[in-house]
Amino acid sequence: MNIPAELKYTKNDEWLRIEGNTGTVGITDFAQDQLSDIVFIEFNVSPGDVIAKGASIATVESVKAASDVYSPVSGKVTEVNNALADGPEAINSDPYGKAWMVKIELSAAAEAGELLDSAAYEKSAQERGS
């Protein structure tokens, strides 16, 4: 299971990379593995939308199930990775790179401090994966 140390995580399997005042969001390697082959993604947000922490930002569908993706932080959506609509399988092959989902201008940076670090997320994922 790949869990980059520099990222923050939610208990719902989203990751957050903070660069300056921007947070990039996607789903974790554990989440894509649990979902299996991802075949579709639908974004529930657009650039310019102001969203709250916990708001649904996308729905991913796999051969097994559909799952909502939630924002780990509050802020303004600045970018949506529309390339995933044509290639949702990138979520399976590169969940921390090409398969980022949205970028958010943080409105409450302190929220990121409430997220899990890599060790806590790994423990959470192992408990649920067994």
Rounded Cα distance, 9 and 15, in Å = 5
- List the domain boundaries for the chain: 8-108
Question: Residue 56 in contact with residue 66, Cβ under 8 Å?
Answer: no
Q: Report whether pLDDT(91) > 90.
A: yes
Residue 64: pLDDT band (50, 70, 90) is: confident
How distant is the alpha carbon of residue 94 from its chain centre? Answer: 12
At 130 the pLDDT is 54
Q: pLDDT above 70 covers what percent of the chain?
A: 99
Top-tier CATH class for 8-108? mainly beta
